[in-house]
Structure 1
């Protein structure tokens, strides 16, 4: 169990790094940071842009299983993340990052060329595989490059990048969709992937500890990866089918849900007691402080995905907004997240404290979710935009601070597997936000949409979802009835979101304030760093903190 102070790292091979002021931030460093931020922006645009374009895509492809467009992406970005964390330890950071960009580009090509819903869903799954590896690699490489004490600032920059992408994504997706060019939402990824891959090849030159092929293969946890991948897929199938393809009480839904959740429990037990070396080593044996970090990260992701994916529906269905107009009206959410995330990151760097910011973040999130439950189809635009600022500010804080209780609880040599699990918990939360939010919405629409309206769509309520762009052209009183039904269905989504946010707040209780590392793992990081460091004296005050921490 972790103690209330930072664990000793005397057993690992790391040596005290320079202070945050002493670590050289030369032009090569900032080129690396830019490439990481661009990678985050790329995945954010793809994740959020599809929501505004989805009704148009469904109509053009004459598809039904629209929830799978989001679920396949979220599943792909989650299932192989633990494996990705292990592979970065075995073959290095740069090869994994380049492979991830290649996968993302391949998935974008398939999605853009899709002639059917099945082809689109397949392309989105491949995109998701690339996105998961990108996200995991970014988090791991940040830990290689900067100390935990200064990590808040750079996590804030990554959050800013995500929020910028999340802000422009719905506008880009919506604009392309309403002009019949939704395929370019995917094709535009290709030159960005190529440019980013060039940056990675030129500047991302990180060390990889030497090892024989046998030693590397022995570190591969095949059983653990099979368990987590199969279990995650099973959960997603159950969530996606629930209440739409099959009733929630049916064996078709309950069986994959139970199998998946039990499989995840078996995975955790196996990792703790049997696997050597495990996918996620000591991070599964930690105290409540570290465990709460993972739980809060998961809950935050559920809230963020629900907002990012389903808030646009409110503006399109209830406010007669075009897809691009809905994206503009979501700026309040995107940019409140980004700005507050940067402020929170700087605050943690200055103070070394993360507990109080965490509480403030959850209070704002709970209050914001509560405000959303009051939205109706006839609510003013000022309310629907203003409420975003409250919940966006809360999510922005939590987005940054949840990694600190985790990384402060472990030796720095365990950072890569810890961050792989961190990204897994976040992406698994995205699955629940996209899939469960869509299931709730569709179940409510099935129950409440006027019978005369549903009768026009014998294929099912999922086809009715594709009619959102034509709601402004419906005659009265049917138009008001449909708009109000969408508003009531979304109210249930926000009520569930409020309950989830309250659960996140409860997870934060009992979390302890630990000292933040001021060292980095010398086995990783930039190859040229040692030569540069020789000419830069360390900051005496923070170096003394480092020595005191190790002695403790």
Structure 2
């Protein structure tokens, strides 16, 4: 077996690199098209939480947790494969395919007549969303240097936050008016517009090689192991304590198989795979590895907050779905604004360690404050606590990619970013499924027995009753609200524990030099676009551009 190569702390002068591409109008059109894609996925991820009780009631479904889990699973499963495919066929075809999958899944969700059909559509949506997110990170690596990456990561965070902020309002408003299907029907036309933008402007290089040479670089076994293992873990988490007891074979078997599969995947990548999905230079490097672990943990925090916080306002505060969406603006926009500031700070100073340490501390403080929330806590407290934890999440969310990429030569940015997105999306799965499992299990324990007896089908049906809590008679109404408040406190305790684990993982992380160049084999394909667009703007160079295109 080969010994792992040593990790360069900074790019060598002899590396085959070039500076970032010019920031002209075509560059900003690419950035806009990518940001629009992220905006779409953010709306879809966050809007479902506010609308879910109404949707579950409308479809009479018992498996509401799978509405979130299927999306998160699809968003994660094929991300490593997308990284490999983007190296083979280029970035543009992957992004177009991703938008097509997202639109198809949205159409199925909008037309769903059963909960199973909705879950299937959400899974297809997730496949598209995962490919979109992975492609976004890879495209940014192609276009901008790591030193300036913080600013553009902040812009993507702003796009995500705008979508994440309006998502619960849109989802809640449509659910409240009985038109929740339009939450999905609006996506295909936006995807079509964005696909046109991608076709026109996302013209990036693809290094020349035969199809056989490119396919030989695909890690089929690794992708199969990671996809199957992830699916197995999600099944166990979703079934646990709801359909089957936690210690039953139905739950333990998929959990154990999935976790063992992930261990086998890591061992295979380290010692047997050539080339691996996991960048080989990270084998002995704690700085890069901690970046992946922290990405997983902060994504788990973000998913838990985004998905389950609206339930606090709907169940405990008698808020409508649309108003509940407005009430989590403190979380959404504190994340985006602080993320942009953190990205600019990293660009200015080149230091990512201090932002990460401070971000985790702020997240811990915010999570600790959330654990004090009760059903009768004031609105000022619930919003103010959101701003505190949102600021911490925003800092860490943007900064964790820097220790990963700083540990690598820029030629390995694409597979590294695919794995980065996988680790984040895997964190989303745990946030959604673990939060859902807590809600279902704790509601069994905390809801009044007289209330539960009305739902012999199980506590998942009781979850559907959130929209009717305001109409319950006293003292049952307060008892149900307090039950939800007590249940959600356990979720905030989970967030606190995850934040503390993330802070511990940042210990020992080194501060490395940030790259100031990009891989010249990628970036914008000027031979494909310069002549086409220069006729109107630079007539004097028309002949020269034609000569260059013909010679190429």
Name the TM-score class by shorter chain: over 0.9
Residue 9 of structure 1: how far off its partner (Å): 7.5
Rounded to whole Å, the distance in 1 between the matches of 2:6 and 2:152 is: 26
SS at match of 1:152: helix
Rounded to whole Å, the distance in 2 between the matches of 1:15 and 1:298 is: 30
Residue 497 of structure 1: how far off its partner (Å): 1.0
Indicate how the Cα distance of structure 1 residues 412 and 198 shifts in structure 2: closer, same or farther if over 3 A, else same: same
Rounded to whole Å, the distance in 2 between the matches of 1:286 and 1:419 is: 18
User: How does 1:352-501 map onto structure 2 within 5 Å?
Assistant: 352-501=350-499
Indicate how the Cα distance of structure 1 residues 181 and 531 shifts in structure 2: closer, same or farther if over 3 A, else same: closer
Rounded to whole Å, the distance in 2 between the matches of 1:61 and 1:187 is: 17
Q: 2:203, 2:528 within 8 Å by CA — same for their partners in 1?
A: no
Q: Per-residue displacement from partner, 1:39-82 (whole Å, max 9, x unpaired)?
A: 11100000000010000000000000000000000000001100
Rounded to whole Å, the distance in 1 between the matches of 2:257 and 2:140 is: 35
User: How does 1:1-400 map onto structure 2 within 5 Å?
Assistant: 5-6=9-10, 8=12, 10=14, 14-17=16-19, 23-400=21-398
Q: Per-residue displacement from partner, 1:372-427 (whole Å, max 9, x unpaired)?
A: 00000000000000000000000000111000000001010100000000000000
Gaps of at least 5 residues in structure 1 are: 533-552
Q: 1:221, 1:275 within 8 Å by CA — same for their partners in 2?
A: yes
Q: Per-residue displacement from partner, 1:461-499 (whole Å, max 9, x unpaired)?
A: 000001000000000000000000000000011111101
Indicate how the Cα distance of structure 1 residues 529 and 136 shifts in structure 2: closer, same or farther if over 3 A, else same: same
Residue 205 of structure 1: how far off its partner (Å): 0.3
Q: 2:203, 2:529 within 8 Å by CA — same for their partners in 1?
A: no
Q: 2:146, 2:405 within 8 Å by CA — same for their partners in 1?
A: yes
With the length of structure 1 as denominator, give the TM-score of the two structures.
0.94
Q: 1:9, 1:412 within 8 Å by CA — same for their partners in 2?
A: no
User: How does 1:514-525 map onto structure 2 within 5 Å?
Assistant: 514-525=512-523
Rounded to whole Å, the distance in 1 between the matches of 2:499 and 2:241 is: 24
Rounded to whole Å, the distance in 2 between the matches of 1:281 and 1:5 is: 15
With the length of structure 2 as denominator, give the TM-score of the two structures.
0.94
SS at match of 1:194: helix
Residue 8 of structure 1: how far off its partner (Å): 3.7
SS at match of 1:498: helix
Count the aligned residue pairs: 526
**Greater relative contact order: 1 or 2 (C-alpha under 8 angstroms, separation 6 or more)?**
1
Residue 131 of structure 1: how far off its partner (Å): 0.3
Residue 96 of structure 1: how far off its partner (Å): 0.3
Gaps of at least 5 residues in structure 2 are: 531-552
Rounded to whole Å, the distance in 2 between the matches of 1:158 and 1:414 is: 22
